[in-house]
Amino acid sequence: MYGFTIVLRRKKYSPRFKNITKETTPEQSRRRSKPKKAKKNFKFPFKISKLMPLTFLVFALTVSVILSNKEPATESNTQPVQTSTFSLNALSKDAYSFYYIPVVINDIESFDYEKSKLSDEMIAACCWSLIGDEKSEEKYEYFEDKTVIPSKEVEERFSQLFGNKITFENKSININNCKFEYADDNYCVAITGITPEFLPKLLKFESDGENVILTVGCLKNDEYVQDANGNIVEPEPYKKLEIVLCENEDKEDKYFIKNIKLI
């Protein structure tokens, strides 16, 4: 059974017919005669559609600020590291650092145990090797802001590093604007330190049975940078050295440097 809905419309009667057909009280007449206030529809002072581009822009800026804190180190968000007084103790140590650290910071890039002669860089390397020992502060005396190292210990360290085939000679030297003054069987070294041109990084080591072959990177000291998060970012090696260590059968020291060359 189907149903239908019938909509009835009221016929608009004339005001005269209303007054005749419908009785009203004086109070109702006054209420009806009072004019009705028109309802005001609320309108936004601007169109909502115009807010969409602005909202998207604010969102994009917020995301970019968050991501900027997670950016990798690049040239645009790094800054040079302020150099300070150099200390051998600040470098990482391993089984072979005893040999390659003094070589790199004194920029010795060529050496042959059979052919080379004594150089100022070798003497400086021996002095800095002794100063870099863990107990050097307790072991050596200080006089007028200088570290006093007995020359006998410098000679012994030379033999440990470079073997005993080269004749050692004590003398005053000046390396990297740092003076090593020899007098009265002592070396006096200013404790203000140096700023070496290169810092070492051991890249690889291998053995052929008798010798240990080290591949050491020389990193420029003034190319270290600091990223946006404060982390130190080291540069790529400026050059690489091959340092060959030979077994020492005559002394308690296990090795000495047999050869150094650029690769």
Instruction: Give the angle 108-114-116 at the CA atoms, nearest 5°.
Output: 35
- Report yes or no: 210 and 249 within 8 Å, Cβ to Cβ: no
Backbone conformation region of residue 185, classed left if phi is above 0, alpha if psi is from -120 to 50, else beta: left
**Cα end-to-end span (Å), the chain:** 103
Report residue 140 as tokens. Answer: 């050596």
Each domain of the chain, given as residue ranges in start order, spans 88-262
- Report yes or no: 112 and 259 within 8 Å, Cβ to Cβ: yes
Q: What does the pLDDT read at residue 227?
A: 86
Q: Which of 262, 111, 121 is nearest to 194 (CA)?
A: 121
Q: Which of 221, 259, 250 is nearest to 237 (CA)?
A: 221
Could you say which DSSP state residue 135 is in? Answer: T
pTM of the model: 0.68
Residue type, 246: C
CA-atom Rg of the chain in angstroms: 44
List the chain pLDDT tens, one digit each, 263 residues. Answer: 333 333 334 444 444 444 444 555 555 555 555 555 555 555 545 555 555 555 555 555 554 444 445 455 566 677 776 554 456 667 888 999 999 999 999 999 999 999 999 999 999 999 999 988 888 888 999 888 899 999 999 999 999 999 999 999 999 999 878 899 999 999 999 876 678 899 999 999 999 888 999 999 999 999 999 888 888 899 999 999 999 999 887 656 689 999 999 99
State the residue for tokens 């060529």: 110
How far is the C-alpha of 233 from the C-alpha of 225, rounded, in Å? 5
